[in-house]
Chains A and B, each alone.
Chain A
Amino acid sequence: MPTNANRQFLDFEKPVKDLIDEIENARTRQEKTKIDMTDLISRLEQNILEKRKEITENLTSWQRVQLSRHPDRPYTLKYIDKMTSNFVELYGDRNVKDDKAMVGGFTSLDGETVMIIGQQKGINTKMRQLRNFGMANPEGYRKALRLMKLAEKFNKPVITLIDTPGAYPGLEAEERGQGEAIARNIYEMIRLKVPVICVIIGEGASGGALGIGVGDKVFMMENTWYTVISPESCSSILWRSWEKKEVAAEQLRLTADKMLGFGLIDGIIPEPVGGAHWDYDGSAQILKNYLIPVLKELKQMSAEQRTNTRIEKFGRMGFWEEE
C-alpha cells in the first residue's frame, strides 16, 4: 500500500490531501520546534477519517467510476495475497500464449482449495503496459476457461475477481476470435458443475467482464461499476461527443446500488471508509469474510441444482411489455 507521501488523489479527494499535508507540516514543525503536536496530529487523523467517509457518501455515478479506477486501488493479485495462502499461479492457455492481463491459480481460502481467476492491472507504468491495462485478449479468456475446467475436474469452487475496462479491441484479438472466446466462456460458466462466485472489484466493462462473470452469485464492491459499455464510449456513440461521460454514467445506472435494485447482482460488498485504496488489509478481510459463508451455502447444493438455478436466474433478467 502506498505511504501517505506517495498517495495519489482524485480531485474530489482534495480535502483529504489537505489534511494529510497539514499533518506533515505539524510533524515538520514538531521536529524543528520540539513542541509536542501529538494532540493536533491525532485530531487531524480523526478529521481524515471523517472526511473520507463524507466524500464517499454523496458521490455521483461518474465519481464512483473514477474511484473504481483509482490508481492506488488494490487489484486481483493483491486480494489473493491478502485473503489466501499457498497461492500457485498457473499460466497460459495451452494454445497461443500466456495473457498477463488475466491471472489465476489454485490457492487456499480459509483452509479450502479454491480457484481464483481475475483480470490484473499493472501497478506502475511498466507493469500497466505488460498487463495491457487489464484488457485481456482471447488467450486470456481461454486461459481462464482452462483453469475453470481444471477446478471443475477436481471439484474446487471458482472465484473470479473482475476488473477490466473491456476486452482488448486489437487486430490480433479479432484474428484469434475475441467474440468466440468470450461467448465460449459465458456458455461454459453457466453450466460449470462447481460453485462459481464472481466479484466486481473495480471496473466491470461489458463482455470483457461477463467473460469471467457468470456465476451462482455475482457481487459488486461498493465503489465499482458494471454495465454494457464504458461511460466514455457510450457518450461518444449516443451523444456523438466524448464530453458527456458524466451524463452517460448517470443514465447507464451502473453503480452497485442500482444494479442490486435491478436484481442483476446478488449483493454489495462494503469497502473501508473512503474506498478500498485506503486500506488493502481491511478490504481483503471484508471480502474474505463475505465469501466464506456464501461458498459454504453453495456447496450444499447439488451440481445440477446450481446450474439450473444459474440458468433460471439469468433467464429472468430483462424487461418487456406483452400485448
Chain B
Amino acid sequence: MSKQVEDFDANLAGEEGKTEETKSSWFKRIKKGINTKTSEKKETPEGLWVKCPDCNYICTISELREHLFVCPKCAYHHRINSSEYFEVLFDNNEFIELFDNIRSKDFLDFTDLKPYKKRLEEIWSKTDLKDSMRVAEGKVNGQGLVIACMDFEFIGGSLGSVMGEKFSRAVDHCIAHGLPYMVISKSGGARMMESAFSLMQLAKTSGKLSQLSDAKLPYISLLTDPTFGGISASFGMLGDLNIAEPGALIGFAGPRVIKETIKRDLPEGFQRSEFLLDHGFLDFIVARKELKNKLATVLELFKN
C-alpha cells in the first residue's frame, strides 16, 4: 500500500511511478507499437508479458486486450487510456475526436525540479497525447454519446486549463446536438503547475454542468482507478449518475495524506469503489465487460 501511495504523488508530479499498478509502462510500449510516432521501439520481450499486480497472473498483452484489460484470472481492472475506452465503448471503434487542437501552455513560467514547459514538451514527444483529456463523439449500441476521457499518463491525468476548456466545449457540443455526456475520470487531481488557474477549473466545469442540466441532458460520471482531488471535488461527483469500475481508488484526499493526518493505518478497502457505494456516493459499480451494454441501457432509459 505505502509504495503505491508514494507513486501516486509521483504520477501527479509528472514522473513515472515505481509499482506495477502506477507506472503503466507496459501500456506505453503498446502505444508506441500502435502509433510509432517517435521512431523505433520494437516491443521489448518484457513488454509482451504483463503481470497482474493483484494475483501475479502472467499473460500476454494480446490476451489481456481480448479481455478488455481485465485480468482473466482475478478480474483486476488494469489501467487503460482514452483510446482503449473509446474502443471498448464506441460501436466498431468509430468516433470523431473533438477539440484536439487545444493544448497546454506554460503561462506562469512554472518551474519545479523541471520547467513545466519542458515537461510538456517531453510528453508531447513521447506520446500522441495533447493533454490529459480527449473528447470524442460516437455511438454506443447505436445511440449517440459524447465521451470525455482522461489519460493518466499525461501528468497523472491532472486537471488544468486544457481539460477545463475541453470539458466546457464538450458540454456546449452536447447542448447544440442534444447529446448525453459521459466523463471517464482517472486523475491524481489538479495540475499544480497551473496553480490557481487549475483550481478555477472546478468552478468553470461546474458552471457548464449547470447549463447541461438546464438543457435536461444526462451526464454520467464514470470514476476509474484512481480519481482524486479536484476531480472528485467537482464534476467527478456531480453526475446524474456516478458510477465506477470495481476496485478503483477514489477519494478527495490521497491515502498518504490521510494516513499522516490521522496517524493510524487505513482500513482494508478504504476509498475503493465498493467503499464509496456502501457510503452512498455511487449509483452502481460496473465491470468493464458489462460497461457498454449497461451504459446503452441507461441511455435508453433516460431517452424513452
Task: Give, as a whole number of angstroms, the nearest-CB distance from B147 to chain A.
Answer: 20
User: In the bound complex, what is the Cα–Cα distance between A104 and B199 (angstroms)?
Assistant: 24
Interface presence of A206 (CB below 8 A) = yes
Establish whether residues B203 and A186, one from each chain, have CB atoms under 8 Å apart when the complex forms.
yes
Establish whether residues A179 and B251, one from each chain, have CB atoms under 8 Å apart when the complex forms.
yes
- Give chain B residues whose Cβ lies under 8 Å from the Cβ of A154: none
Task: Give, as a whole number of angstroms, the nearest-CB distance from A185 to chain B.
Answer: 9
- Give chain A residues whose Cβ lies under 8 Å from the Cβ of B251: 174, 178-179
Interface presence of B234 (CB below 8 A) = yes
Establish whether residues A238 and B107, one from each chain, have CB atoms under 8 Å apart when the complex forms.
no
Identify which of residues 188-216 in chain A touch chain B, using a CB-to-CB cut-off of 8 Å: 190-191, 206-207, 210-211, 213-214
Partner of A315, one of B162, B168, B230: B168
Q: Mark B204-235, 1 if CB is under 8 A from A, else 0.
A: 10111111000000000000000001101111
Establish whether residues B196 and A264, one from each chain, have CB atoms under 8 Å apart when the complex forms.
yes
Partner of B236, one of A168, A183, A211: A183
Q: Mark B185-199, 1 if CB is under 8 A from A, else 0.
A: 000001011111111
Establish whether residues B238 and A187, one from each chain, have CB atoms under 8 Å apart when the complex forms.
yes
- Give chain B residues whose Cβ lies under 8 Å from the Cβ of A214: 203, 206
Establish whether residues A183 and B233, one from each chain, have CB atoms under 8 Å apart when the complex forms.
yes
Interface presence of B81 (CB below 8 A) = no
Interface presence of A184 (CB below 8 A) = yes
Task: Give, as a whole number of angstroms, the nearest-CB distance from B226 to chain A.
Answer: 13
Interface presence of B258 (CB below 8 A) = yes
User: In the bound complex, what is the Cα–Cα distance between A318 and B193 (angstroms)?
Assistant: 12
User: In the bound complex, what is the Cα–Cα distance between A219 and B94 (angstroms)?
Assistant: 47
- Give chain B residues whose Cβ lies under 8 Å from the Cβ of A315: 168, 204, 207-208
Identify which of residues 102-116 in chain B touch chain A, using a CB-to-CB cut-off of 8 Å: 102-105, 107-108, 110-113
CB-CB nearest in chain B for A229: B192
Establish whether residues A184 and B258, one from each chain, have CB atoms under 8 Å apart when the complex forms.
no
- Give chain A residues whose Cβ lies under 8 Å from the Cβ of B111: 251
User: In the bound complex, what is the Cα–Cα distance between A289 and B212 (angstroms)?
Assistant: 38
Task: Give, as a whole number of angstroms, the nearest-CB distance from B91 to chain A.
Answer: 29
Establish whether residues A321 and B209, one from each chain, have CB atoms under 8 Å apart when the complex forms.
no
Establish whether residues B192 and A207, one from each chain, have CB atoms under 8 Å apart when the complex forms.
no
Establish whether residues B261 and A238, one from each chain, have CB atoms under 8 Å apart when the complex forms.
no
- Give chain B residues whose Cβ lies under 8 Å from the Cβ of A248: 112
Establish whether residues B190 and A173, one from each chain, have CB atoms under 8 Å apart when the complex forms.
no
Task: Give, as a whole number of angstroms, the nearest-CB distance from B182 to chain A.
Answer: 17
Interface presence of A322 (CB below 8 A) = yes
- Give chain A residues whose Cβ lies under 8 Å from the Cβ of B206: 183, 186-187, 190, 214
User: In the bound complex, what is the Cα–Cα distance between A321 and B204 (angstroms)?
Assistant: 18
Establish whether residues B197 and A311, one from each chain, have CB atoms under 8 Å apart when the complex forms.
no
Interface presence of A15 (CB below 8 A) = no
Partner of A252, one of B195, B203, B229, B236: B195
Identify which of residues 78-112 in chain B touch chain A, using a CB-to-CB cut-off of 8 Å: 101-105, 107-108, 110-112
Establish whether residues A254 and B195, one from each chain, have CB atoms under 8 Å apart when the complex forms.
yes
Establish whether residues A239 and B112, one from each chain, have CB atoms under 8 Å apart when the complex forms.
yes
Establish whether residues A228 and B199, one from each chain, have CB atoms under 8 Å apart when the complex forms.
yes
Q: Mark A167-179, 1 if CB is under 8 A from B, else 0.
A: 1111101111111
Partner of B235, one of A168, A183, A252: A183
Interface presence of A12 (CB below 8 A) = no
Establish whether residues A318 and B204, one from each chain, have CB atoms under 8 Å apart when the complex forms.
yes
Interface presence of B150 (CB below 8 A) = no
- Give chain B residues whose Cβ lies under 8 Å from the Cβ of A177: 237, 279-281
Establish whether residues B201 and A317, one from each chain, have CB atoms under 8 Å apart when the complex forms.
yes
CB-CB nearest in chain A for B254: A169
User: In the bound complex, what is the Cα–Cα distance between A250 and B269 (angstroms)?
Assistant: 38
Establish whether residues B190 and A182, one from each chain, have CB atoms under 8 Å apart when the complex forms.
no
Interface presence of B135 (CB below 8 A) = no
Interface presence of A234 (CB below 8 A) = yes
Given contacts A315-B208, A319-B107, contact A210 B168 (CB under 8 A): no
Interface presence of B68 (CB below 8 A) = no
Establish whether residues A321 and B104, one from each chain, have CB atoms under 8 Å apart when the complex forms.
yes
Q: Mark A99-138, 1 if CB is under 8 A from B, else 0.
A: 0000000000000000000000000000000000000000
Interface presence of B262 (CB below 8 A) = yes
CB-CB nearest in chain A for B209: A187
Establish whether residues B203 and A210, one from each chain, have CB atoms under 8 Å apart when the complex forms.
yes
User: In the bound complex, what is the Cα–Cα distance between A77 and B246 (angstroms)?
Assistant: 45
Establish whether residues B237 and A314, one from each chain, have CB atoms under 8 Å apart when the complex forms.
no
- Give chain B residues whose Cβ lies under 8 Å from the Cβ of A9: none
Establish whether residues B107 and A237, one from each chain, have CB atoms under 8 Å apart when the complex forms.
no
- Give chain B residues whose Cβ lies under 8 Å from the Cβ of A227: 195-196, 199
User: In the bound complex, what is the Cα–Cα distance between A175 and B251 (angstroms)?
Assistant: 9
- Give chain A residues whose Cβ lies under 8 Å from the Cβ of B201: 317-318
- Give chain B residues whose Cβ lies under 8 Å from the Cβ of A238: 13, 112-113, 192-193
Given contacts A207-B230, A252-B195, A318-B161, contact A183 B13 (CB under 8 A): no
Establish whether residues B236 and A179, one from each chain, have CB atoms under 8 Å apart when the complex forms.
yes
User: In the bound complex, what is the Cα–Cα distance between A53 and B270 (angstroms)?
Assistant: 50
Interface presence of B200 (CB below 8 A) = yes
User: In the bound complex, what is the Cα–Cα distance between A238 and B115 (angstroms)?
Assistant: 11
User: In the bound complex, what is the Cα–Cα distance between A314 and B9 (angstroms)?
Assistant: 28
User: In the bound complex, what is the Cα–Cα distance between A37 and B280 (angstroms)?
Assistant: 70
Can you sample 7 A-B contacts with CB below 8 Å? A182-B234, A226-B196, A239-B113, A262-B197, A311-B208, A314-B203, A320-B102
